[in-house]
Amino acid sequence: MNKNPMVIANWKLNGGTDLICASVASVLQHDFCAQIGIAPPYVYISDMANFLRNSKVMIGSQNVSKFESGAFTGETSAQMLKEVGCQFCIIGHSERRQVFLENNASCKTKVKRALAAGLMPVLCLGENEQQRNLGLTNDIIYRQLHESLEGVELNGMDLCVAYEPIWAIGSGKAASPETVAEIHAFIYQELIGIFDKPTAARINILYGGSVNKDNAEYFLQMPNVSGLLVGGASLVPEHFAQICVLASKSCAI
């Protein structure tokens, strides 16, 4: 990999002032060469971005509106997120697909909105348990990738893709590192087809699903795994920092 690994914390609907203080203090103790990002709930973004302004830690959102502005109660636009200090936004997390009925078409609109506002999209993909048991994993991922990214112009901007098998999220049953490597290789090949080889090589492909401080390094050692998207373990600041330290060991320099 010709890029440094990336570790992103997805706090989901968790956290508050105490976690913000503890997490900021924890990440500021280190100078990670891995790229680190934290996605707290919307309302904390501005504060966190200010606290981390002089650090390399990126702040991001867990979602973004597919609309630009107007009568869309409850929505937050990519431009607004950029203005309050976001550098990336998570798009198409399985919880949003399952609970809020997002689909590949809406993800594509969101990816375009994010890029237009100068935010790095972190596009999430992954199959559910039934699809996995039916041997449909690659088909699902193929559709998610192609329907969300085909025709998207990166224009030199960064994009990140996160493979998060739904059955591994919050279950304590992470996918095996070998399985992850196999699927990441498939994702990389498809990204070459959608964009081109140099562009695909620049895209960090993260694994997410029950990653913790004890298993993180096994994923980071695998080919085509260039980072992690961490849920539960990111709510324990020392654990998250330990994962970032591990990722920093596989930096290119």
* 52/29 Cα distance (integer angstroms): 12
Q: Smallest distance, Å, CB 160 to ligand 13P?
A: 12
When asked if residue 169 is in the footprint of ligand 13P (CB under 6 A), the reply is yes
Catalytic pick among 102, 127, 164, 190: 164
Q: Which of 24, 216, 230, 243 binds ligand 13P (CB under 6 A)?
A: 230
SS3 letters across 213-237: CCCHHHHHCCCCCCEEEECHHHHCH
Q: SS3 of 121, please?
A: strand
The least distance separating ligand 13P from the CB of residue 20, rounded to whole angstroms, comes to 18
Show Cβ contacts of residue 9 under 8 Å, excluding neighbours closer than 6 positions.
23, 37, 38, 39, 230, 234, 240
Stretch that binds ligand 13P, among 67-75, 81-89, 146-154, 203-211 (CB under 6 A): 203-211
Among 200, 211, 244, 247, interactor with ligand 13P by CB under 6 A: 211
Question: Rg of the chain's alpha carbons, rounded to an integer?
Answer: 17
CB–CB of 93/164 below 8 Å? yes
Amino acid at 234: S
Q: How far is the CB of 232 from ligand 13P (least distance, A)?
A: 3
Q: Which of 131, 201, 232, 251 binds ligand 13P (CB under 6 A)?
A: 232
Residue 93 catalytic? yes
Any residues with CB less than 8 A from the CB of 214 and at least 6 apart, and which?
A: none
Residue 237 binds to ligand 13P (criterion: CB under 6 A): no
Interacting residue with ligand 13P among 209, 225, 239, 244 (CB under 6 A): 209
Structure tokens given for 195: 């964009």
Other CB atoms within a 10 A radius of the CB of residue 58 amount to 19
- Note if 164 is an active site residue: yes
Give me the least distance between CB of 224 and ligand 13P, in Å please: 19
Which range in 66-74, 137-145, 193-201, 204-212 contacts ligand 13P by CB under 6 A?
Answer: 204-212
CA atoms of 137 and 71, how far apart (whole Å): 38
Site string for ligand 13P, 89-118 (x = CB under 6 A): ----x-------------------------
> Is 85 or 227 the residue whose CB approaches ligand 13P more closely?
227
> Pick from 60, 121, 126, 231: which binds ligand 13P (CB under 6 A)?
231
Distance CA 130, CA 232 (A): 23
Site residues (vs ligand 13P, CB under 6 A): 10, 93, 164, 169-170, 208-211, 229-233
Among all residues, which ones are annotated catalytic? 93, 164
